[in-house]
Structure 1
Amino acid sequence: MSSRRFFNEEIETLPKEKLKALQLQRLQATVERVYHQNTFYRKLYDEAGVKPSDIRSLEDIQKLPFLEKKTVRAAYPYGVAMKQPGGEDGAVELHATSGTTGKSVPVFATMKDIEHWAELNARELWMTGLRPGDVLMNCYGYGLPTGGFGFHYGAMKMGVMAIPMGADARQYERLIDFIYDFGVAGMCMTPSVGLYVGNKAREMGIDFTDTKLKVGIFGAEPWPWETRLKLEEYFNIKAYDEFGMTEFLGPGMTCECEARDGMHAWADTFLVECINPETGEPVPEGEEGELVWTWLESDGTAMIRYRSRDLSRLWWEECCTCGRTHPKIGSIKGRTDDAVLIRGLVVFPSQVEAALLRFPETGVNFRIVVDRKNDLDTFDLLVEVKEPTMLASEDLTRRLQKEMAAAVKSVTGNTPHVHLVGPDTLPRATGGESKTASARVEDRRK
């Protein structure tokens, strides 16, 4: 077992002023490159009246126009590509967003990109406590969205054996067997899949205290602290938050360290801003806003000032207790395109989840259904229970409906009409392709 604290100590502990100098150098090189080599960006910047020579400081990034998902989709298929297939250094791997609301956003990776992607993910796996010789069960999806691939490459980079289990939560019995049979030390998956598998294991009387499990890495959807505690209870692990976007090759962008008070964003590779989503202006450090990302170290794809729609906070610390110097983002509260306005109040699915997890009777999933009747918003909340037999008791059903409605009102200001349903009856997100809360919100007013 290695006693090293860092996978790449030099870059992970680089002083803030040197990190920012590196960011400026790479930002200038990136803007120069895309302006002269990519017709999509040259047209975008000419229309905005900005030239590469205008970028003299990190603050000058605000002179560049934002990239919106719809803008990138309009340039489909090769608009943001810096390398196409062919040649010794051409693109060798294509990933893409799900495309559930339009054309996919494609991401082109060269061998240089994949090697660096592996390095970023190895940093994160090491940061959470995995070491060479450990076994990682990867329960993110393997496909066009990048969920499973990043951690898979990172595990191989650092000498960890990866099990590409995939995102199908229905194979929970096999997953549990593998944890025991192959001595799994770490696992990564969405929180909703973790809750599903953990609940099934509890029903089967499985106790993970006698396994090698020690680490769980969860992301791809917003999840409150209450979910973390439940996952740690189910699996006897330490749970870590991670965040990634397929548009930037997904996993490997940010992850929690041992302090678990924010996710380190790798400043040598990404420049992240936090803006007011309404005005586009930067918010003060530490205040909530929308994250905007720029890829500083990509060979095959150009993504500059890409609006994520994710709501979080951004700050630099003088010295994190883990020794890393890279800035942090807070846990993702929700998305500007997932927040639902009900009766004049904004409701996030993560708020509802936090309220429902107070009840031991709550199952794995819930669904918010919003409609409009007689010119008034209606707010129905479908909640799975752990056991079908619970629904047979009218007294228990009425009590839970009343108490759950009050708990949700306490955090959202809105009182829902609660309906209890049996286990495994509601749709759920199973992979990074559903980072949004679309599986948990049905707005019939649209």
Structure 2
Amino acid sequence: MSHRRFFNEEIETLPKEKLKALQLERLQAIVERAYHQNQFYRTLYDEAGIKPADIHSLEDIHKLPFLEKKTVREAYPYGMALAQPGEAVEMHATSGTTGKSVPVFATRKDIANWADLNARELWMTGVRPGDVFMNCYGYGLPTGGFGFHYGAMEMGVLAIPMGSDARQYERFIEFILDFGVAGVCMTPSVGLYVGNKAREMGVDFKGSKLKVGLFGAEPWPWETRLKLEEYFGFTAYDEFGMTEFLGPGMTCECEVRDGMHAWADAFLVECIDPETGEPLPDGEEGELVWTWLAADGTAMIRYRSRDLSRTWWDERCPCGRTHPKIGAIKGRTDDAVSIRGLIVFPSQVEAALIRFPETGANFRIIVDKKNGLDTFDLKVEIKDGAILENAEHAKVLGKQMGEAVKSITGNTPHVQLVPADSLPRASGGESKTASARVEDRRKPR
């Protein structure tokens, strides 16, 4: 069993045309059900002049109005539900840091499907029955911890629900070594933090059983992947999910690591121009829009994610899977910050800073206005506090970091080096770089 290539070979290798036919069948079914069972959707579609019978092809999805987070929040608490308490057996919700939470109601069918999707991803990255998997995403209303936990249980893997508190890094390290952990999942920033602490403690994971690391919840550049692999001695994979769709379990890299497979039997992903809302051709970068085709307890149809990426769909990946792909998440439309007329993403800054061995696990972009002009300050955590005691060394290093950031973003920041662990940190499945790594003081308070 453990030597087979796929967890669910039939669906993972289903020919593209059959997958598209399945998508259309499920799209028609979820639109029909939402319209007739949910007052929110009936009103939304009636106002748009759309009926379920108008969906004849996958392209007809463009007739349906987008869901915006603001609109969905207006349906709080039960407005998006297809199942009521009693039918729904589990509820999750977004963090609500910028408004009311978006609740998601899951039936037993949803939980079973969620477990299958996550088991596919774990299997795809090399986790096998009998392995030990340490889950360092948060367990709570956001779905980060639960998805991979259910997936591990589904495939006969011992799951350790470690949680996302990086401050217990000594236990992270201890458990990896003592329990023979083969796979871990966490945010990239937590991974950098724990990996750096292990290095400081003289811990070398090369002799451990670690082989797989899954990372998501934050955009992260290839340079960060290489640093994580250097720290832990495993292969690092990108994965993506959203609480609104019971993520993780939406997309993940295979061994090819050229884009993340988006499970077409469960989700339909579009890429649109974030300004016009018009669909973009394969390979062109834009905003991802998701429809939950296999949903039972909650309807999410054409939901704008604000995540920037690209999509494409080949007949078959070299790994043998036939599902479409999305590229690495570049950033979000709401964490992209315009500085002096140029767009800067936290992932670009990270790609520049990770080149410096002195860089710690976190940084913070601070944008303000002075005399009518944008200011760009960058606080960077430093591993070794002794550097801060040498003013000349710190000045030179800060200047070098600023030049590196300029080479990627076109903007030169004023760099301030700060002690390790002194900045806000994204730590859970619902964390986004906007809240932890960007502070735009120009915005109205």
Residues 99-137 of structure 1 deviation map (CA, whole Å, 9 limit, x = unaligned):
001100000001110000000000000000010000000
SS at match of 1:94: strand
Confirm or deny that 1:266 pairs with 2:263: yes
Q: How far did residue 259 of structure 1 move? A: 0.2
Q: How far did residue 13 of structure 1 move? A: 0.2
Matching residue within 196, 199, 217 for 1:199: 196
Matching residue within 104, 120, 123 for 1:107: 104
Confirm or deny that 1:320 pairs with 2:317: yes
Q: How far did residue 432 of structure 1 move? A: 1.3
Q: Which one is further off, 389-398 or 240-249?
A: 389-398
Contact between 1:135 and 1:183, CA under 8 Å: does it hold in 2?
A: yes
Confirm or deny that 1:301 pairs with 2:298: yes
In the alignment, the residues of structure 1 paired with residue 427 and residue 15 of structure 2 have an alpha-carbon distance, to the nearest angstrom, of 38
Match of 2:16 in 1: 16
Confirm or deny that 1:336 pairs with 2:333: yes
Q: Which one is further off, 152-161 or 312-321?
A: 312-321
SS at match of 1:432: coil
Instruction: Give the counterpart letter for 2:32 in structure 1.
Output: E
Match of 1:348 in 2: 345
In the alignment, the residues of structure 1 paired with residue 336 and residue 266 of structure 2 have an alpha-carbon distance, to the nearest angstrom, of 29
Q: How far did residue 437 of structure 1 move? A: 2.8
In the alignment, the residues of structure 2 paired with residue 67 and residue 41 of structure 1 have an alpha-carbon distance, to the nearest angstrom, of 10
Q: How far did residue 318 of structure 1 move? A: 2.5
Match of 1:136 in 2: 133
SS at match of 2:119: helix
Instruction: Give the counterpart letter for 2:417 in structure 1.
Output: L
Matching residue within 397, 412, 416 for 1:415: 412
Contact between 1:273 and 1:293, CA under 8 Å: does it hold in 2?
A: yes
Match of 1:189 in 2: 186
In the alignment, the residues of structure 2 paired with residue 256 and residue 411 of structure 1 have an alpha-carbon distance, to the nearest angstrom, of 26
Residues 38-57 of structure 1 deviation map (CA, whole Å, 9 limit, x = unaligned):
00000000000000011000
Matching residue within 123, 126, 146 for 1:149: 146
Residues 184-237 of structure 1 deviation map (CA, whole Å, 9 limit, x = unaligned):
000000000000000000000000011100000000000000000000000000
In the alignment, the residues of structure 2 paired with residue 124 and residue 178 of structure 1 have an alpha-carbon distance, to the nearest angstrom, of 23
Contact between 2:346 and 2:433, CA under 8 Å: does it hold in 1?
A: no
SS at match of 1:433: coil
Q: How far did residue 2 of structure 1 move? A: 1.2
What TM-score, normalized by structure 1, do the two folds share?
A: 0.99
Q: Counterparts in 2 of 1:134-283, with a 5 A limit? A: 134-283=131-280
SS at match of 1:250: coil
Contact between 2:334 and 2:434, CA under 8 Å: does it hold in 1?
A: no
Instruction: Give the counterpart letter for 1:333 in structure 2.
Output: K
Contact between 1:94 and 1:109, CA under 8 Å: does it hold in 2?
A: yes
Contact between 2:316 and 2:323, CA under 8 Å: does it hold in 1?
A: no
In the alignment, the residues of structure 2 paired with residue 211 and residue 436 of structure 1 have an alpha-carbon distance, to the nearest angstrom, of 31
In the alignment, the residues of structure 2 paired with residue 48 and residue 253 of structure 1 have an alpha-carbon distance, to the nearest angstrom, of 29
Match of 1:444 in 2: 441
In the alignment, the residues of structure 2 paired with residue 343 and residue 318 of structure 1 have an alpha-carbon distance, to the nearest angstrom, of 43
Q: How far did residue 73 of structure 1 move? A: 0.2
SS at match of 1:112: helix
SS at match of 2:321: coil
Q: How far did residue 250 of structure 1 move? A: 1.2
Q: How far did residue 394 of structure 1 move? A: 2.0
In the alignment, the residues of structure 1 paired with residue 171 and residue 357 of structure 2 have an alpha-carbon distance, to the nearest angstrom, of 26
Q: Counterparts in 2 of 1:15-94, with a 5 A limit? A: 15-86=15-86, 90-94=87-91
Contact between 1:367 and 1:441, CA under 8 Å: does it hold in 2?
A: yes
- Any unmatched runs of 5+ in structure 1? none
Q: Which one is further off, 355-364 or 196-205?
A: 355-364
Confirm or deny that 1:311 pairs with 2:308: yes
Instruction: Give the counterpart letter for 1:136 in structure 2.
Output: F
In the alignment, the residues of structure 1 paired with residue 109 and residue 376 of structure 2 have an alpha-carbon distance, to the nearest angstrom, of 49
Matching residue within 341, 344, 360 for 1:363: 360
Q: How far did residue 436 of structure 1 move? A: 3.7
Match of 2:373 in 1: 376
Q: How far did residue 375 of structure 1 move? A: 0.5
In the alignment, the residues of structure 2 paired with residue 316 and residue 218 of structure 1 have an alpha-carbon distance, to the nearest angstrom, of 23
Residues 378-433 of structure 1 deviation map (CA, whole Å, 9 limit, x = unaligned):
00000011110011112211111111111111111111001011111111100112
SS at match of 1:206: coil
In the alignment, the residues of structure 2 paired with residue 245 and residue 436 of structure 1 have an alpha-carbon distance, to the nearest angstrom, of 14
- Number of aligned positions between the proteins: 443
Q: How far did residue 438 of structure 1 move? A: 1.6
In the alignment, the residues of structure 1 paired with residue 244 and residue 128 of structure 2 have an alpha-carbon distance, to the nearest angstrom, of 28
SS at match of 1:251: coil
In the alignment, the residues of structure 2 paired with residue 230 and residue 23 of structure 1 have an alpha-carbon distance, to the nearest angstrom, of 38
Contact between 2:15 and 2:315, CA under 8 Å: does it hold in 1?
A: no
- Any unmatched runs of 5+ in structure 2? none
In the alignment, the residues of structure 2 paired with residue 101 and residue 403 of structure 1 have an alpha-carbon distance, to the nearest angstrom, of 35
SS at match of 1:179: helix
Confirm or deny that 1:287 pairs with 2:284: yes
In the alignment, the residues of structure 1 paired with residue 359 and residue 149 of structure 2 have an alpha-carbon distance, to the nearest angstrom, of 33
Instruction: Give the counterpart letter for 1:30 in structure 2.
Output: I
Instruction: Give the counterpart letter for 2:12 in structure 1.
Output: E
Match of 2:387 in 1: 390
Confirm or deny that 1:2 pairs with 2:2: yes
What TM-score, normalized by structure 2, do the two folds share?
A: 0.99
Contact between 1:221 and 1:437, CA under 8 Å: does it hold in 2?
A: no
